[in-house]
A and B are shown apart, each in its own frame.
Chain A
Amino acid sequence: MAASLSSLGNVRVLSALAWSSSLCSFSGSRGLHVTVSCCKNRAARIRVGKGDKPVTYEQAHHPHHIGHRKGWLSQHTSNLKGEDGAAERTVEDVFIRRFMFGTFHGCLANEIVIKRRGNLLNVCAVMLQKLPPQKFYFLIGYTESLLSHFYKCPVKLEIQTLQDKIVYKYL
């Protein structure tokens, strides 16, 4: 998100200044808050090009379509009102996505969907048939056992395979 946009060369100024009331006659304080530039109008968007770039449904729709044309990639109860643990679940999600991307390198057809059902962590992924099935089975078992030991909860991997990526449109 903000950290990944560092390649655009933005200035990192994070400061909050507050003046005390001793200087001004009215009682009150002022604050100045400056953050990293978020570039919200460039996030997760693939720009329209010549028409030869194949793009999946997930990539073709921009973030403001979430909730309207796209669903949520990660579902758990911590984002409801009065529930806690949202930060921990988010960090887990980020780690799981990177882990899957690295373990099944080049095989992922689309984003990873993470569902939590109570204690169980269900990772659903759509893969391309690039590796022989035995390698797939090994990697699935390896991922499941490693993540279960890491997060101390049962982790289930649900994999579907495709021949090629499903193209939604060409940009």
Chain B
Amino acid sequence: MASRTSKTFLSLGRINIPLLGFNKSSGKVKYATALSINSSSGNKGLPDRGGRGSFVRRPRREAGEPRTGKMPVDQDWTAVYPAAAPFRPGSIPLPVRMGYPVKGGIPPEKKGNLELIKIPNFLHLTPAAIKKHCEALKPFCTEWPSALETDTKCDEHFPIKLESKEYVSAGPSLRNPSARIVHLRVKLSSLNLDDHARKKMIKLIGERYCKNTDVLTIKTDSCPLRQQNYDYAMYLLTVLYHESWKTEVWEAEKTVADMEDYSWEDSPSQKNILDVLLRMKVAGEGDGEEVRQQLLGRKDVQDYKDSVTRLKNEGESESSMLQYKEAVKKVFNM
């Protein structure tokens, strides 16, 4: 480039001096020769990258043999695939074929095979690689505390269990609105409740109580952040506990329909059985309070009471019906 410009300057210099004295025709001739010099010099040495005229292409280097030919059998594979990466046919010394074969043919080979690139591969997770990962993570691990060996011990020391979910997805954003939900689980037996408090607590929590496992589950998702939902759940637990210990004035108006369990005393069943027994009894005993009390004290009447209570509380089943049958038979001396 620099030599070209210098040559033009020289030619111009030569032209300028004669133009002062000579006529224009000689000047034109000089211009023409200057141009020809420039074009000839352009062809010799420098390759013109612009592409104008004839351009010299740099000799193309042939691609060498792929790495698969030079891999020793006992190489460290974790160095070839240290992290998750797509399938590279030049790095994997296996004659893998993938794809639907042409009629009368075989599946296409691995070179340029898009199907092998599409699928996820686990070449970076060989057992040797996983061992290396574990060795690297071991210094950061601590022992499980020896005082928490069994599940019951864990329940005893940590009765409140909290559950929340983390979400990982493919995309530029970390946020997932479902990650704010918090579940708080606690066994009512681990709380300090007396009979009235327990009944009131069960009435207050309603559907959140599972009778079989005696577990209260509080699910909070009304706040936008998980920390807020956790605080709200703990607040709810505290409030429930304190409220169930209080006795309000209007709780004295609790009727039989509000009772959770069936109690046999002063129930129609008790009245009925006593009436029947009195009528069955030899006439002359009379009807009085002491007679009723005496009848209640009898063992078969107690068994009848147990069977009826069990039927009403637990519902009907084979064993409870059998028990009721036996009790009735005993009472009527059948």
Contact = CB atoms under 8 A, between A and B. Distances in A.
B72 interface: no
B112 A110 contact: yes
Interface string B255-290: 000000000000000000000000000000000000
Contacts of A169: 102
Q: How large is the interface on B (under 10, 10 to 19, 20 to 34, 35 or more residues)?
A: 20 to 34
B108 interface: yes
A151 B118 contact: no
Interface string A151-171: 111000010111101101100
Interface in B129-176: 168-173
Nearest to A68: B100
Interface in B41-78: 58, 63
Nearest to A74: B118
Interface string B229-250: 0000000000000000000000
Interface stretch (B4-12, B29-37, B84-92, B306-314): B84-92
A4 to B, nearest CB: 22
Contacts of B118: 71-73, 75, 113
Contacts of B58: 132
Nearest to A65: B100
Interface residues of A, number: 44
B119 interface: yes
Contact of B169 (A83, A109, A122, A153): A83
10 contacts: A71-B119, A73-B118, A85-B171, A89-B171, A110-B114, A111-B114, A113-B114, A160-B89, A166-B112, A168-B99
Given A69-B100, A113-B117, A168-B102, 10 more contacts: A58-B114, A71-B118, A76-B171, A77-B170, A77-B171, A85-B171, A113-B118, A126-B112, A132-B58, A168-B108
Interface of B: 58, 63, 84-86, 88-90, 99-100, 102, 108, 111-115, 117-120, 168-173
